[in-house]
Copies of this chain bind each other. A is one copy, B any other.
Amino acid sequence: MSIIVLGTVALDTVKTPFGKRKELLGGSAAHFSMTARLFDKVNLIAIVGNDFPQEHLAFLRSKRLNLSSLIVDAGKTFRWEGEYSGDLNSALTLNTELGVLSAFKPQISESQRKIENIFLANVDPDIQEHLLHKMLSPKLIGLDSMNYWINTKRKKLIKLLKHIDIYVANDQESRDLSGENNLIKAAKCLSSFGPKMVLIKKGEHGVLFYTRNGFIFSLPAYPVEKVVDPTGAGDTFAGGFMGYLAKAGKINSSTIKKALAYGTVAASFNVEDFGLHRTSRLTRLDLERRLTEFKNCFSFS
């Protein structure tokens, strides 16, 4: 059981109260992969330009990701520049350069078409649809998006959600796409668009999970005192969540709650340092230890 993730591999320039870092390796697919790889073989589907540093390619390869469908195209790699202040809950985007991403058409091998666990991380819904059409036997499809696509490609996104098992959104996105302020109402509305399950990430406030048959799961965040850089926390969450579910091979209330907990602790590591610095060193043992600590934050008999 391996996982395919479609998304971005990017060069991120980030400023937070803890400093500024230029052209860090980042992007939704890269962040997702850093924790999903701890559970299962990850196939990374993305595009970079021919300016993409060889050391980053070597780094991704060293993480045992299948990069056979990572396209290196003539042109510039996707770049994002953002700044966090105050409570670090939301980023101010200073600059975005799409580069080769603007003409991205994912290509995958015949064997990759058979992969059953699929995560469509945040890219243009047209690109997400393009990949989804190639998949032969999807068993579990997750999709993440962002406000930009909710605003500019709303119909396309809603159409795409008909084919999705789990829609992953942050609180603001789920409010924007549903038009509902209350997050449970928002989740219900989003589920009515198609997804059997809706996962709403609330940053420092944890996560809310809604299933169409009426279950609601909710976890607090793992308490982190020093948030250095939250970039990619949501994708890291999704990587731990989907990674565990793919490995577990079955979906029920027990595996979902455990997957949410893995996502939570994975994200807590991500925010403790810039870019992929912490998650690239992460081991399964790190995750297990923090999972135990996390459970102790709320479990009682």
Question: What is A's interface to B at a CB cutoff of 8 Å?
Answer: 86-87, 181-185, 202, 204-206, 208, 216-221, 223-227, 253-254, 257-258, 261, 295-301
Given A181-B86, A205-B205: A220 touches B220 (CB 8 Å cut-off): yes
Known contacts A206-B218, A257-B300; 4 additional CB pairs below 8 A are: A87-B181, A185-B225, A216-B223, A216-B297
27 CB contacts below 8 A, A to B, read A87-B181, A87-B182, A182-B225, A183-B204, A184-B224, A185-B225, A205-B206, A206-B206, A208-B220, A208-B223, A216-B223, A217-B297, A217-B298, A218-B223, A218-B297, A219-B220, A219-B298, A220-B220, A253-B296, A254-B300, A257-B298, A257-B299, A257-B300, A261-B300, A295-B300, A298-B298, A299-B299
Q: From residue A254, how far is it (CB to closest CB) to chain B in Å?
A: 6
Q: Cβ of A218 and Cβ of B217 under 8 Å apart?
A: no
A227: nearest residue on chain B (CB-CB)?
Answer: B182
CB of A232, distance to nearest CB on chain B (Å): 20
A243 → B minimal CB distance (Å) = 16
Chain B residues whose CB sits within 8 angstroms of the CB of A204 once the complex forms? 183
A130–B219 Cα distance when bound, in Å, is 40
A213 to nearest B CB, angstroms? 14
- Nearest CB of B to A185, in Å: 6
> Are the CB atoms of A184 and B298 closer together than 8 Å?
no
Residues of chain B contacted by A217 (CB below 8 angstroms): 297-298
Complex contacts, A223 vs chain B, CB 8 Å:
184, 208, 216, 218
When A and B form their complex, which 3 residue pairs have the shortest distance between CB atoms, in order from nearest? A218-B220, A205-B205, A257-B300
Residue of B nearest to A223 (CB): B216
- Chain B residues lying within 8 Å of A224, measured Cβ to Cβ, are 184
State A87–B258 Cα separation when bound (angstroms). Answer: 30
Query: How far, in whole Å, are A296 and B181 apart by their CA atoms in the complex?
Result: 24
Cβ-closest chain B residue relative to A208:
B223
For A295, what are the chain B residues with a Cβ–Cβ distance below 8 Å? 300
Q: Which residues of B contact A300 (CB under 8 A)?
A: 254, 257-258, 261, 295
- A184/B220 contact (C-beta < 8 A), A258-B300, A300-B257 known: no
Output the nearest chain B residue to A294 by Cβ-Cβ distance. Answer: B218
User: Which residue on chain B has the smallest CB distance to residue A209?
Assistant: B297
Query: What B residues does A87 contact at CB under 8 A?
Result: 181-182
Partner of A218, one of B86, B181, B208, B221: B221
CA separation between A184 and B285, bound complex, in Å? 25
Chain B residues lying within 8 Å of A185, measured Cβ to Cβ, are 225
Chain B residues whose CB sits within 8 angstroms of the CB of A225 once the complex forms? 182, 184-185
